Structure 1
Amino acid sequence: MSASEQLDQHLREIIQWHFSPETGCPFWLEWAEKNFDPRKEIHGIGDMLKFPHFQDESLRDLQPEVWVPKEYQGRPFNIFETGGTTGMPKQRIGWDDFRIDYSEFSEKISDEHFPRGEAWMMMGPTGPRRLRLAIEHLANVRGSACYFIDLDPRFVKKLISNKQFDIARQYMDHVVDQASTILKHRKISGLFTTPKLLEALAEKIDIFEAGIRGVFCGGTTMLPQYVRFIVEEVLENRIGFYPTYGNTLMGLAASVPLLPEDKFSITYYAPQPRAVLRVVNPQNTDETVEYDTWGRVELTTLTREFFMPRFLERDEALRRRPRAPYAWDGVAEVRPFGAMENKIVEGVY
């Protein structure tokens, strides 16, 4: 079965699940009553254009119970937050999606860089984000334990927006100091962090000498010149580098290993069929842009726990051709939408 056939089959199963009274959640069942029955009209991924863009404000405004599928009623759920720099954060509930995403990701990282059974450290946002549970699950899948250094990105963004750069630097130093202390006293070989924190940590200690052999990096903007700096200067071509593009609503899009002809341009591929990424024309979002052209990122999430059609991310990217082992389009050089026109505050990312 081809990747497109597999996606269409999976899509039909997910549509059936979320829009059947026996299994669906209150939000989508009520939506279908007011709009149309997707079980009759959605047969393949091309039909998804019949859906309007998902408005993620509903994740902020509605009680989480409206998203519980009938089959999951009575099962306690995790509540994960995204964003939330000001006001009420958006929330996604979940059960096992993060385990599925990160178990699959475990097969994409090298035992040389992340030796099985050897400890990890996460230096990044924990708290209400699914990342904390996901990284620990990833370590556990590989027979490892994980140490945590907490970070509050909302606080950092607030400081930077208020131009309190000295305090932001103090807070960053505080996080880095904790990480370097753990690395000094514990044997750790795998590290998850953001690009900016990785850079700050490498300024303070020699991370290769500290035992790190692989870095799994999450963050939005990693343009080619910065990637080259990380690979050659920060990691000195001695430590494995695994950048990813992910969020609470999508899961995890892994990158393909960099080749010389990539010139340090990173391409990410969504975890199809559970999530689908399109790079669309911002002026006409029904259209995908040409390959190697900038457009806005559109996300559709297709799991039994969460259905989200055609959400316009606050990101833009280059559309890239399929590349083994992926038989679908990728997104490259992801950055905040409108980054070339506006000053975007990304804080520690």
Structure 2
Amino acid sequence: MPHDDGDILADLRPDPAEFLHAAMRWHFGPETGSPFWLERAGQLGFDPITDVRRYEDLARFPNITRELRHVPAEQLIPRGYGGVGELVGMFETGGTVGVPKRIPYFEDWARQNLAWTHAHLDAQGVPRGVHWLSTAPTGPHGVGHFARRQAAERGGICFTIDVDPRWVKKLIARDSPETEAYLDHLVLQITQLLTSQNIGVLMITPPLLERLTREPRLLELVRRKVRAIVWVGTHMDAATRRRYRTEVFPGIVLHGTYGNTMILGANDERPGLGPDDPCVFDANAPFVSLHVVDPETGAAVEYGQRGQVLMNHVSKSAFLPNNLERDTAIRMKPPAGRVGDSVADVMPVHTFEDELVIEGVY
């Protein structure tokens, strides 16, 4: 692969057209592409290197995310890395709609993703030099690794609790009374850490945040110690977000993120939004591009209309195009010069891939 392609793929804010062309050469070049995509190339009916010129052309690719439940990990590693020395991990989905999917996460993408996130946290007023408490999944899930690095790079320690999203989804699916006991178990761990440690940033999911507000002692601890709440994972409706900002947590920064494993990161809440504004999420383009479409036709809905979210991930680390997600959202105009859409008022569909969607605690 030419050296200038490598420079473009490592850039934090590359020109979208140049970046896309370089990415196609990387993922479909015989010396740099992954075995998975090199084998697939002959079945596509077009040449990605010559025929993919615009981000709209990514719609020509099949959605291969279902296959990621069973593909051997080494088949997904681009040959251009020369091994797994820079591999941060093989991260997995939460298993909301079946067997978890797996995708590689390399160090260069971690740096690009973290730079994007730090910029948005700074713009929202999330403080540096304070400790974090992450109440998000760890283990095979990327968000746990990401939280630790965010806190460390911002000058703090990241404390964590154990969250098993797969187990709590099973409990909810069978309407088990153990669900409440599991939530009590999580709340107890949060209480212990907030009591004993100086936590300045609380990373938490909306269901756990709502549960926290029911505990007067825990609510008082958050109001007294925490300077910013970063909510992740499941959705938060507009009325709840407004109530948190104006009544429950006044004076505390409330910052939302919308992402998942299949984009290897998150889309961040747009800075400067008021409590009555819709919560708009901007994508880390051109690496991640969002499109809000009619799921039946694949055509974009009008701005201000609801459709299903389609995501593309294009980086040196991985290539996941044309992925119809399990969420709907309002299509919003992106910041000037960005490819794709921004989204607002995200909510899950009821069923996806023939499975009932259960959000659980993450």
TM-score normalised by length of structure 2: 0.87
- Map 1:255-274 onto structure 2 (within 5 A): 255-257=269-271, 259-260=273-274, 263-274=276-287
Q: Which whole-Å CA distance do the structure 2 matches of 1:99 and 1:145 have between them?
A: 19
- Map 1:30-109 onto structure 2 (within 5 A): 30-35=39-44, 36-52=46-62, 54-76=63-85, 77=87, 78-85=89-96, 88-96=99-107, 97-109=109-121
CA offsets 1:214-254 (integer angstroms, 9 cap, x no match): 0111123222112123223331x221001000111211100
Q: CA deviation at 1:46?
A: 2.6
Structure 1: segments with no counterpart, 5+ residues: none
Q: Is the 8 A contact 1:300 1:311 kept in 2?
A: yes
Q: Is the 8 A contact 2:124 2:271 kept in 1?
A: no
Q: Is the 8 A contact 2:203 2:229 kept in 1?
A: yes
CA 1:209–1:228: 2 relative to 1, 3 Å: closer
Q: CA deviation at 1:344?
A: 4.4
Q: Is 1:177 the counterpart of 2:191 in the alignment? A: no
TM-score normalised by length of structure 1: 0.90
Q: Is 1:242 the counterpart of 2:255 in the alignment? A: yes
CA offsets 1:43-86 (integer angstroms, 9 cap, x no match): 1223223223x121211111011111112232243110003257
Aligned length, in residue pairs: 339
2:319 corresponds to which residue?
307
Q: Which whole-Å CA distance do the structure 2 matches of 1:158 and 1:82 have between them?
A: 15
Which residue identity lines up with residue 140 of structure 1 in the other structure? A
Q: Is 1:120 the counterpart of 2:132 in the alignment? A: yes
Which residue identity lines up with residue 127 of structure 1 in the other structure? G
Q: Which whole-Å CA distance do the structure 2 matches of 1:255 and 1:11 have between them?
A: 25
Q: CA deviation at 1:199?
A: 2.0
Q: Which whole-Å CA distance do the structure 2 matches of 1:318 and 1:33 have between them?
A: 36
Q: CA deviation at 1:184?
A: 0.8
Q: Which whole-Å CA distance do the structure 1 matches of 2:221 and 2:212 have between them?
A: 8
Q: Is 1:211 the counterpart of 2:222 in the alignment? A: no
Q: Which whole-Å CA distance do the structure 2 matches of 1:324 and 1:44 have between them?
A: 17
Q: CA deviation at 1:210?
A: 4.0
SS of residue paired to 1:150: coil
Q: Is the 8 A contact 1:180 1:201 kept in 2?
A: no
CA 1:322–1:89: 2 relative to 1, 3 Å: closer
Q: Which whole-Å CA distance do the structure 1 matches of 2:53 and 2:209 have between them?
A: 45
Which residue identity lines up with residue 58 of structure 2 in the other structure? M
2:197 corresponds to which residue?
186
Q: Is 1:220 the counterpart of 2:234 in the alignment? A: yes
Q: Is the 8 A contact 2:233 2:260 kept in 1?
A: no
Q: Which whole-Å CA distance do the structure 1 matches of 2:180 and 2:338 have between them?
A: 40
CA 1:257–1:139: 2 relative to 1, 3 Å: same
Identity %: 35
Q: CA deviation at 1:19?
A: 0.4
Q: Which whole-Å CA distance do the structure 2 matches of 1:277 and 1:111 have between them?
A: 22
Q: CA deviation at 1:325?
A: 9.5
CA 1:86–1:294: 2 relative to 1, 3 Å: closer
Structure 2: segments with no counterpart, 5+ residues: 1-12
2:9 corresponds to which residue?
none
Q: Which whole-Å CA distance do the structure 1 matches of 2:94 and 2:235 have between them?
A: 16
